[in-house]
Amino acid sequence: MSRPRDDRQKDLLRPALDQIIDLGHPLVRLAEKIDWKFLDGRFGSVCQPGPGQPGLPTRLVAGLFILKHMHNLSDEVLCARWVENPYYQFFCGELSFCHKLPFDRSSITRWRQRLGEEQLVALIQESLSVAHKTGAIETKDLERVVVDTTVQPKAVAHPTDARLMHRAIVKLVALARRHGVPLRQSYLRVAKRAAIMVGRYTHAHQFKRARRALKFLRTRLGRLIRDIGRQIEGNPELQRRFGPLLDLAVKVRLQDQRRRGLKVYALHAPEVECIGKGKARAPYEFGCKVSIATPATAPKGGQFVLHAKALHGNPYDGHTLGPVVREIETLTGIETRRIHVDRAIAAITTRTSSGSGSAARCAASPPPSVAR
């Protein structure tokens, strides 16, 4: 795909949008404050120069993402409202009113998959810049921040050994049939029956029978892995296609509930981690730990997110404060004078620091308005 370009022009047979809308509308005023060239430079970097159809204009993509999160809309609802709302179209850079979508709904998903941390940070940085210019947030609001961690859950089913091994068998058989790899036996029917019986036996507290059915599943998965390995031996192309799924299937077969270490909790999302935050309603959550920073004060424009970062590997909360504070100061350009954290982060930060830096600015007990 070549780099995006914005070649939209006014339609001579249709009135311009700026002639049929209220130029004092909040979305029109917001569009004038945003530095679209800054976002174009960051968003355009995800597409390398080369042959292919150019991507959607970066202003259109950035505007769609901003509108989606401003109004908490799904992709389908966003597209439906975009067609019927001239202010949405003006905000995204259209010059004349469009009666049809100039893009496909799936383009939003593809752009979302292309964007990385740098592009999303650019959106936060530009939103804070506009808020500061318009007076919605002041410098004093950026000097006192609240930093805390939480879990961003992933849409995965509750992982069990029986379910994971059954899904591994189903996926391996489907991939083998897709590439014409012959199998001695697929085990699909007996594996499905065994996975169902594991749940039934466990529910009835017949754990010996449940372990027997689970062992049956593990044995069939091992047979399937070895059979596929023999069939693709000596074929580099098939080995490349089967390699990732075979590695996950081997990990699923060998992992144990009581064994510590990295485990696979979802075959379609192997990056998912098991995180325990001490919640009574959810002792364990499956997803990724994230750090969120917000102002400790009450800005005029409402609540703002100053920083958001995914913390892969489930690090200890107290070890994440230093890098997060440095990134907040780089993002806002203002030194934080006071940081409100929970007692766990404050304790480890104080022990590992010598009374300077972020430890000297930590407040172990946040104010009532921002307490967890």
In this structure, the answer to whether residues 320 and 280 fall within a common structural domain is yes
Distances (CA, A) of 297 to 65, 233, 290: 27, 63, 22
In a domain, residue 165? The reply is yes
pLDDT computed for residue 13 by the predictor: 74
pLDDT at residue 4, as a whole number? 63
Predicted pLDDT at 287: 93
**Residue 14 banded pLDDT, cuts 50, 70, 90:** confident
pLDDT 10s digits, 194-232: 999 999 999 999 999 999 999 999 999 999 999 999 999
Q: How confident is the model at residue 163 (pLDDT cuts 50, 70, 90)?
A: very high
Predicted local confidence at residue 371, as pLDDT: 37
Per-residue tokens: 369 = 């308005």
Sequence-separated (6 or more) residues with CB below 8 Å from residue 166: 191, 192, 194, 195, 217
Co-location of 179 and 218 in the same domain = yes
CA dihedral 195, 197, 202, 207 (to 10 degrees): -100
Residue 353, pLDDT > 70, answer: no
Q: Do 102 and 52 share a structural domain?
A: yes
Mean pLDDT, range 323-348, rounded to an integer: 83
pLDDT digits (tens, 9 = 90+) for 108-123: 888 888 888 888 888 8
CA distance 345 to 333: 24
Instruction: Summarize pLDDT for 70-104 with one digit per residue, the tens.
Output: 899 999 999 999 999 999 999 998 888 888 888 88
Last residue of a domain, one of 254, 280, 296: 254
Residue 86's CB is within 10 A of a number of other CB atoms, namely 19
Query: What pTM, to 2 d.p., does this model score?
Result: 0.74
190 with 122, same domain: the answer is: no
Asked if residue 223 and residue 298 are part of one domain, the reply reads no
Residues of the domain holding 169: 161-254
Mark whether 238 and 281 lie in a shared domain.
Answer: no
pLDDT for 194 equals: 96
Q: Does 264 map to a domain?
A: no
Give the residue from 254, 284, 319 where a domain finishes.
254
Structural domains of the chain, count = 3
Residue 288: the pLDDT is 92
Residues 25 and 96 in one domain: yes
pLDDT of residue 151: 92
Mean pLDDT estimate for the chain: 86
Domain identity same for 241 and 306: no
Highest mean pLDDT among 67-76, 147-156, 170-179, 352-361: 170-179
Lowest mean pLDDT among 20-29, 33-42, 230-239, 354-363: 354-363
pLDDT > 60? residue 364: no
Residues 272-322 pLDDT 10s: 999 988 888 888 999 999 999 999 998 888 888 898 889 998 888 888 888
* Of 32-46, 68-82, 154-168, 228-242, the least confident: 32-46
| Res. 340: pLDDT tops 50 | yes
| pLDDT of 368 above 60 | no
Q: Is residue 310 part of a domain?
A: yes
- Terminal Cα distance for the chain, rounded: 46
H helix runs in the chain, sequence order: 26-33, 36-44, 58-70, 75-84, 86-91, 105-114, 117-134, 139-143, 161-178, 188-203, 207-231, 236-254, 321-332, 343-352
pLDDT grade for 52, boundaries at 50, 70 and 90:
low
